[in-house]
Amino acid sequence: MAKKTYKGLQENIRDLKTPKIDVWKNKYQDRDYLVDLKTSEFTCICPKTGLPDFATININYRPDKTCVELKSFKYYLVFYRDVGIFHEHLVNKILDDVVKACQPRWIKVEVVMGTRGGIQTTVTAEYSQS
């Protein structure tokens, strides 16, 4: 079996076509509240070795007009199973895609990668409406 290559993907990571994240209308737009999403079932591929990377993803956001629909978000995350992506690119791509989908008032995306080579990697990115 030939090893799959991920060469060039990192240079064009912002153009990676990902599944659509659906949303639903927030009936409490007048209230500032926090939604926490967490999954420990995330996997992607190390673009250097081709080996699987495992992660816990934590997303905290303050919705505005819409909220993230969870079934579509699960399919969105599963998409990455066969994608070779650096941790730093992953957290920023997820942030961009969720912001594009639901335009939250504020959001923080944290990706805690499984320990590899004795090193624990956590990457966090935030967005706020201004």
Catalytic residues: 46, 53
Contact, 46 vs 9, CB < 8 A?
A: no
Coil, strand or helix at 118: coil
Terminal Cα-to-Cα distance of the chain (whole angstroms):
50
Neighbours of 97 (CB within 10 A): 18
